[in-house]
């Protein structure tokens, strides 16, 4: 799976977005360690806070199916599905990534021309992880 192909799958996932409130369509494509890809879109709600982001939709689908090891995720989004700039994952999604992914997990942020790459360590420094529960 190339980064370019993963970004294409994120763009396709964007078309599944349910976003009548913000109008922002977001798509994500998550690459599992075994090569399986899970896609997700943002799903909004009239009460706003129950909204789930594209990244978490993809991660939760994968975890439900038994996957716990992930290599990379591609994310894209834009008003009415038009990509005008990159769409960095929100803080909640970064924290969810931190539950399952290591510092070297790769995030491809799709822009109008290509993509930018960051690691989870770059997007979520000083992260709160399970190990914190074990310190006494």
Say if CB 54 and CB 88 are below 8 A apart. no
Q: x/- string (CB under 6 A) for ligand THU, residues 64-103?
A: -------------------------xx--x----------
The distance of closest approach from Cβ of residue 34 to ligand THU in the complex, given in angstroms and rounded to an integer, is 25
Instruction: Please choose, out of 51-59, 63-71, 101-109, 125-133, the segment that lies near ligand THU by the rule CB under 6 A.
Output: 51-59
Q: With b meaning 16 or more CB within 10 Å and e meaning fewer, what string describes 9-28?
A: bbbebbebbebeeeebbbbb
Those residues whose C-beta lies under 8 Å from the C-beta of residue 121, and which sit 6 or more positions away, are 103, 104
Check residue 33 for interaction with ligand THU (CB under 6 A).
Answer: no
Question: Which residues are designated catalytic?
Answer: 55
């Amino acid at each position: 799976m190339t980064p370019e192909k993963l970004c294409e799958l994120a763009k396709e996932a964007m078309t599944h977005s349910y976003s009548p409130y913000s109008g922002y369509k977001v798509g994500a494509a998550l690459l599992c360690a075994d090569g399986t890809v899970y896609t997700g879109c943002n799903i909004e709600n009239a009460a706003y806070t129950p909204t789930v982001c594209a990244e978490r939709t993809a991660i939760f689908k994968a975890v439900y199916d038994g996957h716990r090891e992930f290599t990379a995720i591609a994310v894209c989004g834009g008003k009415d599905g038009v990509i005008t700039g990159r769409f960095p994952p929100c803080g909640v999604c970064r924290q969810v990534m931190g539950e399952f992914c290591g510092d070297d997990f790769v995030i491809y942020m799709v822009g109008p021309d290509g993509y930018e790459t960051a690691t989870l360590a770059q997007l979520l420094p000083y992260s709160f992880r399970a190990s914190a529960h074990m310190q006494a």
